[in-house]
Structure 1
Amino acid sequence: MATKEAADDNVSIPASTPADGETYRATKEDYRSVEQKAIDDWLPITSSRNAKWWYSAFHNVTAMVGAGVLSLPYAMAALGWGPGVAILILSWIITLYTLWQMVEMHEMVPGKRFDRYHELGQHAFGEKLGLYIVVPQQLVVEVGVNIVYMVTGGKSLKKFHKTVCGSCKDIKTTYFIMIFASAHFVLSHLPNFNSISGISLAAAVMSLTYSTIAWTASIHKGVQKGVEYSYPASSRAGKVFDFFTALGEVAFAYAGHNVVLEIQATIPSTKEKPSKKPMWKGVLVAYFVVALCYFPVALIGYRMFGNQVEDNILQSLEKPAWLIAAANMFVVIHVIGSYQIYAMPVFDMIETLLVKTLRFKPNFWLRFISRNIYVAFTMFIAITFPFFGGLLGFFGGFAFAPTTYFLPCVMWLAIYKPKRFSLSWFTNWICIILGLMLMILSPIGGLRNIILKAKDYEFYS
C-alpha cells in the first residue's frame, strides 16, 4: 500500500520499521518539506542568504551598466539632442521608481519572500497566468543579454588584439567569441550569487572604469572636424526606424530589474530588519554609479563624434592606443561578470525544472551538463548573429521594456489597488503607457537594422 500510494503521488516516501514491529510511514507533507528544503539549499537563488547591502550595490551595477552604455552615444545620434536627453533622464527616473516597487514587493506577504520574478508574477496574476506572463519575457531578456554579451566580449577582445598588435594577422570575430565563451565554461559552475560576488565586484569596478575612459578619451580626442548633429539616415523612413531602434538601445541600458528579486533573495531578512532596507541602500548607490556612467558617455560621446559615432563608442576611439586597449579589456572583464549575473537566474530555472518537475537527482553532473549546454547555446547564437546594434534595439524593446518599465507597475496596481486618480494610480499608468509604446516601437527599428546588416553579412566570418 505504501509503495502504491507513493507511486500515485510520484513521491518516494521512506519507510522505517520500529523495534515493536509496527510499520511506520512518514507523511507526504513531512517528506516533501525535508525534500523541498534540500532542493532549495541546492538551487542557485535560495542556497545562500548572507549577502550584505554592498553586495546589492555592485551586483546591480554589474547587471545595469553593461554593454548598453557603450551604445548610448549612437542612440543619441538617432534621437537628437532634445529627445535624447529627455529619454535618458526619463528612463533613469522611471526605472528607479519601478525598481523601488520590486524591492518593496519582495516581502509584501508576511513570512514569505518572492525570491524570483515569476513568483511575484504568480502572486499578482495567478499561478498559471503569472508563469505565462513573466517567464517567457524574463528568459528572453536574460538569454538575450547573455547572447549580446558574448558578441560584446568577442568584439572587445578583437579590438584589443587589433590595438596592441596592428601588424598581426586578422582573426575572425568567431574565434574571439569562442575565446570569450571558454571563460564561462569554467565560471558557470560556481553554485550561486554569493559565490560570484568577487567576479561581480571586479565587473562593477571595470564598468565605471571603462565608462570613464570612454568619455575622457572622447574629450581628449576633441570635437571632430566637420562634425554634424543631424540624423544619420537620409530618408524619412530611415530616420524613423533609427529612432525606434535607439529607444530599444536605451531600454537595454536599464535591464537590471530582471535579476533584482534574485539579488534581494541573497540578503538575510527578519521582521525587525527586512531585506528591503539594505537592498534599497544598495540600489541607490548603484543608480548613482549608473548616472556617473551613462550621462557623460552618452552626451560627451555624441558631442565629440556627432552622427558619425560607432554603435560601440570604443570603436570610434583610436588614440591613445594603450588606453583604448585597456578599456576594451575592461569591457571584457565586465561582461564576464555581467554574463554570470544574468545566467544565474536561468540556471536556477533550468535546475528547478530538472529537479522538481522531471525529478532528476540534484548533483554535480546534472549542473555540469545543463550549464555547459546553456553556455554552448548562447555562444552558438552569438557566433551566428553578431549584429550588436540591431540586437540591442530588438531585445531592448521586445522584452526589456515590459520587465523594466511597466510590468512592476501592472503588478503594483493588481496587488495594492491604489485609489483611482490618486498620485500612485496616475504614476503607474503613465509608466505603463510609455513602456507599451517602447515595447511596440523599438523592436520594429531593431528588426529592420538586423535585416539591413544581414544582407552583407557572411556567416561565421
Structure 2
Amino acid sequence: MGTQAQNVQSSYARTDIDEKLAKQKELDDWLPITSSRNAKWWYSAFHNVTAIVGAGVLSLPYAMSELGWGPGVVVLVLSWIITLYTLWQMVEMHEMVPGKRFDRYHELGQHAFGEMLGLYIVVPQQLVVEVGTDIVYMVTGGKSLKKFHDTVCSSCKDIKLTYFIMIFAAPHFLLSHCPNFNSISVVSLAAAVMSLSYSTIAWGASAHKGVQNGVDYGYTAKTTSETVFNFFSALGDVAFAYAGHNVVLEIQATIPSTPEKPSKGPMWRGVVIAYIVVALCYFPVALVGYWMFGNNVDDNILISLEKPTWLIAMANMFVVIHVIGGYQIYAMPVFDMIETALVKKLHFQPSFMLRFTARNVYVALTMFVAISFPFFGGLLGFFGGFALAPTTYFLPCIMWLAIYKPKKFSLSWWTNWICITLGVLLLIVAPMGGLRQIILQAKNYKFYS
C-alpha cells in the first residue's frame, strides 16, 4: 500500500511538473524574446548597429568640445575597447551552462548573484536604460523632424516641438505590435543603414564646410567648477553612445543554437561587424565635427550644419528613420518584462488585447515624458552615467569574476578590475554633470512649448 501511495504521489508530482513546463513553453512561445529563434548572424549585426549607434553619435562633437582633444580621443578609444570587451563577455556567458540559455540580462544576473539579488541588481538598471533611451529617442526624433520641417520650409509657420514629438510617436503605436525581434528585422536593417548614412553626412558636410573662422578648441566654461561639471557630463554623453549591452542577450536569444553550433559563433561575428560600423560612424563624426566647429558646436551636430539645405534635411530624416528602429529595439525587452509580469504575477491570459493595451500605454508614457522634459544634452549625460555605466562598462565584468573566478592577479583579473574601476568612476561623476545641465536648461524652459 505504501509503495502504491508513493507511486500515486510521484505520478501527481510528475503531472504537476509537466503542466508547469507546458505552461512555461506556451508563455515562451508568446513572449517577444523567446518566440522566434531563427535569426541569422547578420540579424545580430544590424540589430547591434541599431542598438549602439543612435542619438549619442550626434552629440560626440559636443562631448569632444567639453573634454578637449587629448582627453576626448582617449575617452573615445577606451570606451570602444572596453565596451567591445564587455560585449564579448556577455556573448560568451549566454550559454555558459550546458543545455541552458540566458535569454535575458536579468537571467544572467540571477545566475551570477542569486535568484532575488540578481533581479534587484539588473532589472532596475536595465529598465532605466531602455525606458530612458526610448524617451531620449522620442526627443531626438521630434527635434530631427522639426529641423527637417524648418529646413525645407523656412518660411512656414513655426510649429511647437511638442507636436513633432507626437508625430514621431505615431508610427510606434503601430510598430510596437510586431510580436518579436525577428519581426522588426526590416525596420532594424533600415535603421542600421540610416545610422551609417547620417553619420557620413554629418562628418562629410562638416569637412566640406571647413574649419570655421575664429574656431576655438578651449573650454567655454568661465570657471573651473563649470569646466569640471561639463567634463563629467561629456563622459556621460560618450557612455550613452555605447548602449547596446542592454539588449545583446535578448538579440542572441533569437539565434538558433545546438551543442555543435552554439549561438555565440554567429552572434560574435555580427557584433564584430557592428563594432566596425560603430567605429566608422563615431570617430569621424566626433573628430571632424569638433575640428571644424570647435567649442561652438551644438549638442546635436546636425543643428550646427545649415547648408547644403537638401543634404541636412535628408540627414535629419535619416535620423528619424534610425531612431524609429532604435526605439523598437530598446522597447522589445521592456515589452517582454511587462508581458511576463502581467501573465505571471497578475495572472492575465496571454492575448492580443493584453499586448495591444500594454504596449500602447508604454508608447504613450514615453511620449508624455519626452514632451515634458526635452533636454537633449542633459538627458544624455544623466542617463549615460547613471544607468549605462553599470550595465555596459562594469556589470558584465563583475558577473565574469563571480562566475568564472579567474586567478588573482592574472590578465583576466586585472582587465576586469580596471574596467570595473573606470566604470564606477563614470557612474559617480557623469550623472552629476548631466543633472546640472538639466537644471540649468530647465530654468528657461516653458512646459509643452
TM-score, normalization: structure 1? Answer: 0.94
Q: Say if 2:167 is the partner of 1:179.
A: yes
After TM superposition, give the deviation of residue 283 of structure 1 in Å: 0.2
CA distance in 1, matches of 2:114, 2:320: 40
Match of residue 442 from structure 1: 430
CA distance in 2, matches of 1:271, 1:186: 38
Match of residue 3 from structure 2: none
Q: Deviations over 1:294-335 (max 9, x none)?
A: 000000000000000000000000000000000000000000
After TM superposition, give the deviation of residue 25 of structure 1 in Å: 10
Residue type matched to 1:404 in 2? Answer: T
Residue type matched to 1:343 in 2? Answer: A
Q: Deviations over 1:184-219 (max 9, x none)?
A: 001000000000000000000000000000000001
Which residue of 277, 290, 300 maps to 1:302?
A: 290
Which residue of 354, 357, 361 maps to 1:373?
A: 361
Which residue of 83, 96, 99 maps to 2:87?
A: 99
Q: Say if 2:227 is the partner of 1:259.
A: no
After TM superposition, give the deviation of residue 26 of structure 1 in Å: 8.1
Q: Deviations over 1:378-399 (max 9, x none)?
A: 0000000000000000000001
CA distance in 1, matches of 2:380, 2:259: 41
Match of residue 220 from structure 1: 208
After TM superposition, give the deviation of residue 136 of structure 1 in Å: 0.2
Residue type matched to 2:102 in 1? Answer: F
Residue type matched to 1:325 in 2? Answer: A
After TM superposition, give the deviation of residue 32 of structure 1 in Å: 0.9
Q: Deviations over 1:105-129 (max 9, x none)?
A: 0000000000000000000000000
2:170 aligned counterpart, secondary structure: helix
CA distance in 1, matches of 2:359, 2:343: 14
After TM superposition, give the deviation of residue 232 of structure 1 in Å: 1.5
Q: Say if 2:156 is the partner of 1:168.
A: yes
Which residue of 304, 313, 319 maps to 1:325?
A: 313
2:447 aligned counterpart, secondary structure: coil
Residue type matched to 1:80 in 2? Answer: G
Q: Say if 2:233 is the partner of 1:245.
A: yes
2:171 aligned counterpart, secondary structure: helix
Which residue of 408, 412, 426 maps to 2:400?
A: 412
Residue type matched to 1:118 in 2? Answer: H
After TM superposition, give the deviation of residue 30 of structure 1 in Å: 1.3
Match of residue 384 from structure 2: 396
Which residue of 22, 41, 44 maps to 1:53?
A: 41
Residue type matched to 1:319 in 2? Answer: K
The structure 1 segments of at least 4 consecutive aligned residues displaced by more than 4 Å after TM superposition are none
Which residue of 48, 53, 78 maps to 1:65?
A: 53
Give me the CA root mean square deviation.
Answer: 1.0
Q: Aligned runs of 1:29-178 on 2, under 5 Å?
A: 29-178=17-166
Q: Deviations over 1:120-176 (max 9, x none)?
A: 000000000000000000000000000000000000000000000000000000000
Deviates more, 1:163-172 or 1:354-363: 354-363
CA distance in 2, matches of 1:220, 1:26: 71
Q: Deviations over 1:23-69 (max 9, x none)?
A: x9982111111111110000000000000000000000000000000
CA distance in 1, matches of 2:359, 2:16: 31
CA distance in 2, matches of 1:178, 1:219: 34
Which residue of 232, 256, 265 maps to 2:220?
A: 232
1:47 aligned counterpart, secondary structure: coil
CA distance in 2, matches of 1:285, 1:111: 28
Match of residue 15 from structure 2: 27
Identity of aligned residues (%): 80
1:111 aligned counterpart, secondary structure: coil
CA distance in 1, matches of 2:19, 2:91: 33
CA distance in 2, matches of 1:122, 1:232: 45
Residue type matched to 1:112 in 2? Answer: K
Q: Deviations over 1:214-247 (max 9, x none)?
A: 0000011110000000012111111000000000
After TM superposition, give the deviation of residue 179 of structure 1 in Å: 0.3
CA distance in 2, matches of 1:381, 1:101: 34
Match of residue 4 from structure 2: none
CA distance in 1, matches of 2:256, 2:361: 32
Match of residue 21 from structure 1: none
Aligned residues: 439
CA distance in 1, matches of 2:171, 2:224: 44
1:27 aligned counterpart, secondary structure: helix
CA distance in 2, matches of 1:263, 1:94: 20
CA distance in 1, matches of 2:388, 2:220: 25
TM-score, normalization: structure 2? Answer: 0.97
Match of residue 371 from structure 2: 383
CA distance in 2, matches of 1:157, 1:73: 21
Distance 1:230 1:128, change over 3 A: same
Residue type matched to 1:196 in 2? Answer: I
Residue type matched to 1:42 in 2? Answer: W
Match of residue 345 from structure 1: 333
Match of residue 410 from structure 2: 422
2:415 aligned counterpart, secondary structure: helix
Match of residue 292 from structure 1: 280
Q: Deviations over 1:263-309 (max 9, x none)?
A: 00000000000000000000000000000000000000000000000
Match of residue 196 from structure 1: 184
Q: Deviations over 1:365-420 (max 9, x none)?
A: 00000000000000000000000000000000001000000000000000000000
After TM superposition, give the deviation of residue 92 of structure 1 in Å: 0.2
CA distance in 1, matches of 2:123, 2:220: 37
Residue type matched to 1:448 in 2? Answer: R
